[in-house]
Chain A
Amino acid sequence: DAGITQSPRHKVTETGTPVTLRCHQTENHRYMYWYRQDPGHGLRLIHYSYGVKDTDKGEVSDGYSVSRSKTEDFLLTLESATSSQTSVYFCAISETGGETSEAFFGQGTRLTVV
């Protein structure tokens, strides 16, 4: 299995509080992604990174920010959590982002905003 670790694995937080989720990889892969998964919507891309300090928005980026100061770490921050951000968050990595480069996933973070 690819070396991807997400932390925390579970979190309950209150509306309006900031939350940071961490994705750590030991594969030295260039691309890292944050997805959220909700019933009826499947996996939707929040943000992604194609290198240190290089990030871009995905399909559902509103209310989220990211940072990548090192190759191995990709942080997702909810500046002020809302109940609509209750979801399962998956981090993924891919080696080159090229045509045949498949993505590998972390185990997910289950976030509940109350």
Chain B
Amino acid sequence: RKEVEQDPGPFNVPEGATVAFNCTYSNSASQSFFWYRQDCRKEPKLLMSVYSSGNEDGRFTAQLNRASQYISLLIRDSKLSDSATYLCVGQGSGGSYIPTFGRGTSLIVHP
């Protein structure tokens, strides 16, 4: 079982919709979490960090639930340009801060 699990999707939503992704992690010792965005045939790029208190950046909100061991990403007012794969990352388990990636969730925003 992978340490970080995501629903691969695809999530197919119309422009303007609100969409949410969850990511579960198996290692309760994981300390830090991030969401990355990856466009087709490109490198992953950091979207936002995830804090216990929640983190909002414009239309994007990330939350961490340590009790249930999941993180979430909420995208409001979806744009066509939001179409991409979103990767969940955990790090900091066992004293190691090596980033561990989920397989990614594909989002397709259509007109």
Contact = CB atoms under 8 A, between A and B. Distances in A.
Sort chain A's interface into a size bin. Answer: 20 to 34
Contacts of B31: 99
Which among A42, A58, A101 has the highest number of chain B CB atoms within 10 Å? Answer: A42
A105 B98 contact: no
A101 B87 contact: no
A107 interface: yes
A43 B97 contact: no
A72 to B, nearest CB: 18
16 contacts: A40-B103, A41-B103, A42-B103, A43-B87, A45-B100, A48-B98, A58-B98, A90-B44, A99-B91, A100-B49, A102-B34, A102-B99, A105-B44, A105-B45, A106-B43, A108-B42
Contact of B43 (A58, A102, A105): A105
Q: Which 8 A-B pairs have the closest CB atoms?
A: A42-B103, A105-B43, A43-B101, A97-B97, A99-B32, A99-B31, A103-B99, A102-B46
